[in-house]
Amino acid sequence: MEAHNYTSLKERAWNTHLCSGCSLCATVCPMKTLYFSNEMPVSYNLCKNEKDNVPCGACYSSCPRINTYKEKYGLGPVLNAYAARSTIPIEKQQSGGAVTAILYNALERKLIDRVVTVGQDHTTMQTYSIALSTPQEMITHAGSKYIWYTPSLLALRDIIEAGITRKIAIIGTPCVMQALRKMMESDNSVLNRFKDHVALLIGVFCTEIFSYERAMQLFKDASVHPADVKRIDIKKDMLLELYNGDTVTVPLPRDLMRRGCAHCLDFTAVDADISAGSIGSREGFTTLITRNRTGEYYLNSAIENGYLETNKLDTLDKVETFAQRKYKRNKK
């Protein structure tokens, strides 16, 4: 087992601004001595390995920014690629609502017990980690909320500790997928109580994540209240579609991006079982990339049960263009 603990992690990832903020370190810590404050990990300095030499190293073993992150970029493994949309009415869906349809079906068919994702307070647009357990909850929490930073895996710790589930699907950004894949492939026995319960990883295409506090200041400068925003689309600028029908364009300053995002080379979430995003498909459809048999199984189940409509994509050129753009921007 690795001799490293949070001190090594702090030196190599936190203090160097490499930290992606995936929150897996705080999630897997057996003593709950790690937490997030001002979007950065902090320790209570109660590490049992540090103080009593109790074998652990779970945080270090699962960190996506230790050794492996420079290898993750491009399209990654592709089994099949689809333009997909949900056949279920989803009021707040992002693009085609395909991810919601896949997980709606998986919950209904009891292929999974919980979905760990990101919820949002629609008054403030503040996001938080949440575990969903019913198909209707998937509908209620539909729509991508991975614009602001959220320690999105904390709900995973809560449901594992409660002992209420054995088959978990997790939605997350590329760094979250990297962390979870690293955890699942680790030989660190402390991580077994988590990795044995993860059934499906769904990654979302991601260019960068923004600081919530900074973004809210931009909203204020544009005289927009977060409760008035129906939908956000990120192009060159941030486009805010309001409930009254107006669209407000908010310029995106470079320093709105979290510092850790500048080191990420992965746009398509290459470590996921299924990757999803709006790039590469026409309006109203989600681009889905199945990367292995696990991803294909869950997608086909949703199709067979009538919750998902798909068409094979002949090319992923546009997705690859975005992937290469992110790689070139952050590689330097």
Q: What is the mean pLDDT of each run of 10 residues along the chain (332 residues)?
A: 76 92 94 87 77 80 88 94 92 80 97 95 92 93 83 94 89 96 93 93 94 90 92 84 93 84 94 96 94 98 97 96 94 78
For helices 293-304 and 98-108, angle between their N-to-C axes, nearest 10 degrees: 80
- Residue showing tokens 């696990």: 294
Tokens 């589930």 belong to 165
pLDDT at 286: 95
Residue 217 identity? Q
3-class DSSP assignment, residue 275: strand
> pTM of the full predicted structure?
0.92
User: How confident is the model at residue 93, as a pLDDT?
Assistant: 62
pLDDT for 256 equals: 84
Q: Are the CB atoms for 23 and 170 separated by under 8 Å? A: no
Alpha-carbon distance of 298 to 295, in angstroms, equals 5
* pLDDT for res 2: 47
The predicted structure's pLDDT at residue 38: 82
Nearest Cα to Cα of residue 98 among 110, 83, 112: 83
Provide the Cα torsion 89, 91, 92, 93; round to 10°: 20
Residue 194's pLDDT is what?
Answer: 93
Burial class (CB in 10 A: 0-12, 13-18, 19+), 133: middle
Residue listed under structure tokens 């077994």:
192
Identify whether the C-beta of residue 149 lies closer than 8 Å to the C-beta of residue 21.
yes
150 within 8 A of 127, measured Cβ to Cβ = yes
